[in-house]
Amino acid sequence: MTSQTNDALAEWSRRAERVMPGKQSNFRPGPDVPPVIAARAQGLRITDVNGKDFIDFTLGMGPGLLGYDNPRIREAVVAQMDRIMIAASGAMHHTAEIELAERIVEHVPCAEQVRFGISGTEADLMVMRLARGVSGKTHVLRFENHYHGWADTSFGGRLEGGSAEPVHGAELGAGIAAHAHSDVLMCPWNDADALERVLQAHGDKIALVIMEAVMCNNGCCPPRRGYLEAVRVICDRYGVLLCFDEVITGFRMGIGGAQGHYGVTPDLAVFGKAMAGGLPLSAVAGRREIMAYLKDNRVLGGGTFNSFPLATASAIAGIDMLAENDGALYRQMAVVQEKIATGLKEAAGRHGFQLMVQGPLGFLFFAFTEKEGAYTPTDLAGADMKLAMRLRGWMEESGVLVAGGSRLVMSPMMTDLEVSDALTRFDRAFAGLASEQ
Ligand SMILES: Cc1ncc(COP(=O)(O)O)c(C=O)c1O
């Protein structure tokens, strides 16, 4: 692979290396992926410091559902700046957060009340504390390979030897508190019998079952037919609260998120990413009697920037756009997504690779495997992950930014011209990959 060594990129890379520990401020991609230093974003494109143009399928890792410079989002943010830009979340409400909560209650099935935060990680921590506070129970049940933020208790862990107590090893990096998983139990996902067994054995101490309703962080695996319904019934049987972490699926899979799409209503849900038109904002939504614990301080949780006014205004504008014409933008995104998924597979095929592509509306995953689809990461055990990482490098080389975990973040704003440009670039990337073989 040729490397980009234009003067500007080299110079910015040198400056970054001196003052920042890594080529970005999140988890770092592997060495096969060359650095990108963005200078400007417009529509669905990024221009780097060399002036190189990328079609961006990362879109902020989800928030950029409506593109980078959507005029209606911009207008709403500027108007809010004129109205009130900073509001003390500990001292007052502001009107935009109330209007936004009304919209979430209108569109999201489980939402009777809403509490806002800033990041998805914080909202996940809030929901876990809330469930413990409400139930008086100690443990949270998470699922192997799901992601609920990077905090010690919400991050990682894997199953070993049939035990529901997760182990966490070197793959999580150093520095995780020793006690972090002591009140976490774990279960394989998409297996209702496994959940039933864990709740039968430990249900009396489990406050919350939390899951991504589509496993977007590992293979974009869909729930098996009837699985979410079974989870709902099992949680009710053992008196355990159920939360869907909709940080990815929320407002992306549909205006009602995964719960709206599948028709299964959890007790609580967490939102972030695409909810606020690209600005930082998260939310915990749930049943009134659970949320009441926050109202009278039986459960505590803070955050100086919670309900950040510019983000709440941006979210209102975005959700209104998504709701218009009975969700026309979602229908538009489905058309774009179908073309991208098919085009990606065809480009792979032309260069001798077999690619599986799957994902819910708004998010795609690809893997080098002959399988048609995957319900769990075990189904992907034979997929060539190293090849996928190298493809990500060739994609960058060809002017396509692909998100970590071999994922493409979709937007309804992609024009036909951009789709065909993307398909041409996919072809170039696979040609590059084939040239290495
Ligand atoms: C399902 C899910 N939950 C929670 C988070 C954490 O959100 P944030 O990165 O905003 O803290 C993420 C982030 O990728 C996520 O995908």
Domain membership of residue 193 (yes or no) is yes
DSSP, residue by residue, 240-305: -EEEEE-TTTBTTTBTTHHHHHHT---SEEEE-GGGGTTS--EEEEE-HHHHHHHHTTSS----TT
Show which of 266, 287, 322 is a domain's final residue. 322
Closest atom of ligand 1 relative to the 121 alpha carbon: 11
Q: How far is CA 157 from CA 145, 172, 385, 406, in A?
A: 8, 8, 20, 21
Query: What is the pLDDT at residue 23?
Result: 64
Evaluate if residue 419 carries a pLDDT over 80: yes
Closest atom of ligand 1 relative to the 249 alpha carbon: 1
**How far is it, in rounded angstroms, from Cα 39 to Cα 419?**
23
Q: How much is the pTM?
A: 0.97
Confidence of residue 3 (pLDDT cuts 50, 70, 90): very low
Domain co-membership, 316 together with 334 = no
What's the mean pLDDT in 413-420?
97
Domain co-membership, 290 together with 174 = yes
Please tell me the total count of domains within the chain: 2
Domain co-membership, 263 together with 387 = no
Show which of 298, 322, 346 is a domain's final residue. 322
Cα 206 to middle of ligand 1, angstroms: 22
Confidence of residue 411 (pLDDT cuts 50, 70, 90): very high
Domain membership of residue 177 (yes or no) is yes
Closest atom of ligand 1 relative to the 154 alpha carbon: 4
Cα 196 to middle of ligand 1, angstroms: 27
| Strand 139-143 with 206-211, pairing | parallel
Domain membership of residue 93 (yes or no) is yes
Domain membership of residue 1 (yes or no) is no
pLDDT tens-digit profile of 199-230? 999 999 999 999 999 999 999 999 999 999 99
Cα 3 to middle of ligand 1, angstroms: 31
Ligand 1 lining (C-beta closer than 6 Å): 119-121, 124, 147-149, 212, 217, 245, 247-248, 272
pLDDT tens-digit profile of 226-269? 999 999 999 999 999 999 999 999 999 999 999 999 999 999 99
Domain membership of residue 2 (yes or no) is no
Cα 148 to middle of ligand 1, angstroms: 6
Nearest CA residue ID for atom 7, ligand 1: 120
Domain co-membership, 311 together with 338 = no
Query: What is the pLDDT at residue 295?
Result: 95
Query: What is the pLDDT at residue 5?
Result: 52
Domain co-membership, 332 together with 411 = yes
Domain co-membership, 350 together with 258 = no
Domain co-membership, 295 together with 170 = yes
Show which of 295, 322, 349 is a domain's final residue. 322
Cα 246 to middle of ligand 1, angstroms: 9
Domain membership of residue 245 (yes or no) is yes
pLDDT tens-digit profile of 375-409? 999 999 999 999 999 999 999 999 999 999 999 99
Kindly state the tokens that stand for 423: 């398909």
Cα 247 to middle of ligand 1, angstroms: 6
Domain co-membership, 91 together with 55 = no
Domain co-membership, 30 together with 165 = no
Confidence of residue 32 (pLDDT cuts 50, 70, 90): low
pLDDT tens-digit profile of 157-182? 999 999 999 998 888 899 999 888 89
Kindly state the tokens that stand for 420: 């065909």
- Give phi and psi for 325, each to the nearest 5: 50, 45
Domain co-membership, 140 together with 196 = yes
Domain co-membership, 203 together with 287 = yes
Nearest CA residue ID for atom 1, ligand 1: 247
Query: What is the pLDDT at residue 171?
Result: 86
Which residues span the domain enclosing 31? 7-68+327-436
Nearest CA residue ID for atom 13, ligand 1: 149
Nearest CA residue ID for atom 9, ligand 1: 120
